[in-house]
Amino acid sequence: MRRPRASTIVLGLLCLMYFITYLDRVNVSSAAEGYGTEFGLSKTQIGLVFSAFAYPYLLFQLIGGWISDRFGARRTLIACGAVWATATLLTGTAHGLMSLLMARLLLGVGEGATFPAATAAMSRWVVRAKRGFAQGITHAAARIGNVVAPTAIVAVMVAYGWRASFFFCAALSFAWVALWALSFTEHPGQHPRITEAELAALPDPGGGRAAVPWSQLFRRMLPVTIVYFCYGWTLWLSLSWIPQYFLHSHGLDLKQSALFASSVFFAGVVGDTLGGVVSDKLYERTGSLGRARSGMVAACMSLSLCSLVPLLFTHDLYLCLTCLSAGFFFAEMTIGPMWAIPMDIAPEFSGTASGLMNIGSALAAIISPVISGALIDKFDNWELPFAVSIALMGLGVAMASRMRPDRKLQYASDRVV
């Protein structure tokens, strides 16, 4: 049997990390019926629990991106993994709203730098022509975490209680940290299984690290951040409230709602994988990063918002399932091209650039679950939050043409840190 290439091993480790981090994030929504009932929480309070991790998560996008560019993805992800695993463990020991919020805040600290650090690793370990695929397949692994979470967490809850679901996820997280520490090397040339042919195909790591050109980088990434906020609103609305949506809006029981939620999230798995492949194929055929990245994002966001519109006019269970699945599928098709854009614009600062972009999603993670929960509490309407998603997807379409991944960042490179 042919042994896997070193770059395949690295990509597999990152896929596993994305899976576990999203399992750790969304298990809190799947377990909400358990701790919400035990602690007597309102929908608004549950929304606060959903969004609490996003406050430090937002802050650590920028800090974590810079740290991963400065000190490397290996050390960054070892430290982050230890923190997020501990936070997941502590969530299972919570005894009320405040302890839940504190554990979720710590989770945000631990997971804040993970995706920027992973992007920094990919900038060294993935060839340019495969960046869309690499970002798509890792995020597809994250969505598999979304698919697994509702059914797996509910199964653990039914058998052992909601706390046990967090202990299970914490054990997976600690195991990944050990595996990453033992298997990953910062530079491909240091990996014991790298071949000369594989090394020659990978990007040139260059010399010393130039100082981050903050003002130029911020200006270039601002449109990308806005577009990603628009996408992130729908993402966090879906991850936070779709299990509860089927449970309460359509009167399903806990197991049925978990199954329907998993069906929606599985559409995201397919969308993530397909989006990265299509983006790379477009680039291969046209040679245009504008079409392969910005154009594809605009098209997929348009299809996503069109898919969600019928939710506002129907309450048929299976039609709503179809609309949510299609909307999530097309939204997730934007992931591959979106996460490739920081590497296209600023390959030397891909960790920092992707952190700037992911601030948009982190901000949406703070606002979307809380506002959505407040709208549900006030109007007793579970479809109303999706009207906000439709409007923001429209804004994302309008802003997509301003991202310009075809224009590489220009900066003075005379300073080295």
Task: Report whether 226 contacts 233 (CB < 8 A).
Answer: no
- Residue 116 has a CB neighbour count (10 Å cut-off) of 31
Task: Give the separation between CA 189 and CA 205, rounded to whole angstroms.
Answer: 10
| pLDDT band, residue 32 (cuts 50/70/90) | confident
- Of 13-22, 250-259, 272-281, 382-391, the least confident: 250-259
Rg of the chain, C-alpha, whole Å: 20
d(CA 147, CA 27): 11
| pLDDT for res 135 | 84
Quote the distance between the C-alpha of residue 130 and its chain's center: 19
Q: Helix (H, G, I), strand (E, B), or coil: what is residue 416? A: strand
If 0-12 CB within 10 Å is exposed, 13-18 middle and 19+ buried, where does residue 351 land? buried
Domain ranges of the chain: 6-189+214-400
Q: How far apart are CA 40 and CA 335, in angstroms?
A: 37
Task: Determine the CATH number of domain 6-189+214-400.
Answer: 1.20.1250.20
Q: Which two tokens mark 92? A: 């299972």
Ranges 41-55, 121-135, 275-289, 370-384, most confident: 275-289
Alpha-helical regions (H) of 211-288 = 214-244, 254-286
Taking residues 314-341, what's their average pLDDT? 92
- Alpha helices by DSSP H, listed for 112-213, are 114-125, 131-160, 162-183, 196-201
| Inter-residue contact 181 to 58 (CB < 8 Å) | no
Tens of pLDDT, residue by residue over 56-112, are 888 888 788 888 888 888 999 999 999 999 999 999 999 999 999 999 999 999 988
Report whether pLDDT(416) > 50. no
